[in-house]
Amino acid sequence: MDLADTTEQAAFRAQVRDFIAEHGAKAKAEETEGEALLSREVRAKTKGWRDALVASGWIAPAWPVEYGGAGLTATEQFILNEELAESGLSNVGGFGVMMFGPTLMIHGTDDQKREHLGKILRGEVVWCQGWSEPSAGSDLASLQTRAIREGDEYVLNGQKIWTSGAQHSDWMYMLARTDPDAPKHRGISLLMFPMDSSGVSVRPLINLANNHGFNEVFFEDVRVPVANRVGEENRGWYVGMTLTDYERSGIGNAVGTQRRLRGLLRTALDAPPEQTVLGRAGSGWRLAFTDRWIEAEIARLFSYLNITIRARNMVPNHEASMSKLFTSELNQRIAATTLRLYGLYGSMWDSRRSEAQSGKAAGGYLGAVSSTIAGGTSEVQRNIIATRGLGLPRG
């Protein structure tokens, strides 16, 4: 693993920094909570930032140039994500850019590519993912949402749950069972359709931190054209697994963690002495903060490892699970450390209070609970590490 930039990489890093200096202010049009980032109001206010990224091909930097991307190497995309994260910025791609667009390039028809890829890049359409169901989470292949073919249409019935951003989305891509008699990993197809289709209903799910980030979505006799199937009928599981190859390197999460810790330290130093345990003997907060900082550096090294593997034209497998496991559990430890910093003030849960007054500490702690569930539970990641990384037998 080589942590140093080559001459070319250093030049590209300088180019990215110049771009951020010129256009970065457009990305900070409004401070919002994470679940609101896809709302039409925020998308409109950050249009200038998106347009600048689109013009450079950086909204989807690893996409081929013919599809509107920049054709960057894995290392260049890593540098771009790293610099954006260092500046507290996002390339506002979402599921469409991050996962569905690249999958469509591989498995989609020419008509599907022409219809959807340009709109994804321009931010005209926001996508959500219909994966989990009440009885199919980690064991996703057990999904029961049915799509019965009738001529040139599928008739869709069932339910999806934990659907992030469905309340803001224009289209959904989802997995449905098209052959109920086939083994569970077969007989599944990947379909896409507008969220305003007749028979689609979205109901909010409010998390422990009182935020509306995800939803349950119901389908009642929703008619989906066969032309909106991606890939072969009954082979959707394998199309869906292509999506997992296009998750980002993780550098944004690792760098974002360090920015979060720096902000926490500034807040602690600026807060009134009576509102933190910072100066109290025996509090142990300094040691806890030091541990979190070291762990954030380890998370960053995991990202470097994964991008080095990709740069060698290989796919991170158990290495990506190691990174995800460590980073998600670190997120929970940081939330707990933040709560400890404020002592009894940390339990004063009021999002209207400034962080210096500890108002967000309790909400952040509760919000971190889902870190080790979303994107694959810690148990699933440990199984992958054990079997694929260590070669241990399945239990």
Give the pLDDT confidence of 341-372 residue by residue, as tens digits: 888 777 877 656 555 455 678 888 888 998 89
Instruction: Note whether 127-235 and 249-389 share their fold.
Output: no
In 3D space, the residue among 196, 200, 154, 168 whose CA is nearest the CA of residue 32 turns out to be 168
* Domain chopping of the chain, boundaries: 7-92, 127-235, 249-389
* Topology adopted by domain 249-389: Butyryl-CoA Dehydrogenase, subunit A; domain 3 (1.20.140)
- Tell me: pLDDT of 317 over 50: yes
326-337: average pLDDT: 93
β-pair partners for 174: 130, 191
Amino acid at 69: G
pLDDT given at position 232: 96
For 376, the token pair is 């694959």
For the domain spanning 127-235, the CATH number is 2.40.110.10
Regarding predicted confidence, which is higher, 2 or 206?
A: 206
Q: What are phi and psi of 198, to 5 degrees?
A: -60, 130
With a pLDDT cut of 70, the percent of the chain lying above it is 88
Give the C-alpha separation, 95 to 68, whole Å. 17
Q: Is 391 exposed, middle or buried (0-12, 13-18, 19+ CB in 10 A)?
A: exposed
Q: What is the 3-state secondary structure (H, E, C) of the chain?
A: CCCCCCHHHHHHHHHHHHHHHHHHHHHHCCCCCHHHCCCHHHHHHCHHHHHHHHHHCCCCCCCCHHHCCCCCCHHHHHHHHHHHHHCCCCCCCHHHHHHHHHHHHHHCCHHHHHHHHHHHHHCCCCEEEECCECCECCCHHHCCCEEEEECCEEEEEEEEECCCCHHHCCEEEEEEECCCCCCCCCCEEEEEEECCCCCEEEEEECCCCCCCCEEEEEEEEEEEEHHHEECCCCEHHHHHHHHHHHCCCCHHHHHHHHHHHHHHHHHHHHCCHHHCCCCCCCCCHHHHHHHHHHHHHHHHHHHHHHHHHHHCCCCCCHHHHHHHHHHHHHHHHHHHHHHHHCHHHHHCCCCCCCHHHCCCHHHHHHHHHHHHCCCCCHHHHHHHHHHHHCCCCCC
Regarding predicted confidence, which is higher, 171 or 321?
A: 171
For 151, the token pair is 């001529």
Regarding predicted confidence, which is higher, 319 or 92?
A: 319
pLDDT tens for each residue of 36-88: 456 666 677 777 888 888 888 888 887 888 888 888 887 888 888 888 888 88
pLDDT given at position 395: 67
Beta carbons of 98 and 246 less than 8 angstroms apart: yes
In 3D space, the residue among 101, 107, 103 whose CA is nearest the CA of residue 120 turns out to be 101
Confirm or reject CATH 1.10.540.10 for domain 7-92, answering yes or no. Answer: yes
pLDDT tens for each residue of 98-156: 889 988 998 999 999 999 998 988 888 999 999 999 999 878 899 999 999 999 999 99
pLDDT given at position 111: 96
pLDDT tens for each residue of 284-300: 888 899 999 999 999 98
Residues 6 or more apart in contact with residue 166 via CB below 8 angstroms = 128, 172, 195, 202, 214, 215, 217
With a pLDDT cut of 90, the percent of the chain lying above it is 40
Amino acid at 341: L
Regarding predicted confidence, which is higher, 199 or 34?
A: 199
pLDDT given at position 236: 95
Catalytic residue among 86, 115, 247, 329: 247
- Is 232 noted as a catalytic residue in this protein? no
Residues 6 or more apart in contact with residue 26 via CB below 8 angstroms = 46, 48, 49, 52
Regarding predicted confidence, which is higher, 171 or 361?
A: 171
Regarding predicted confidence, which is higher, 182 or 395?
A: 182
Between CA 131 and CA 205, with CA 38 as vertex, the angle to 5 degrees is 50
β-pair partners for 188: 177, 235
- Tell me: pLDDT of 92 over 80: no
Residue given tokens 């034209």 in the structure block: 313
Regarding predicted confidence, which is higher, 31 or 82?
A: 82
pLDDT tens for each residue of 201-245: 999 999 888 888 889 999 999 999 999 999 999 999 999 877 765
Give the distance from CA 277 to its chain's centroid: 34
Regarding predicted confidence, which is higher, 361 or 2?
A: 361
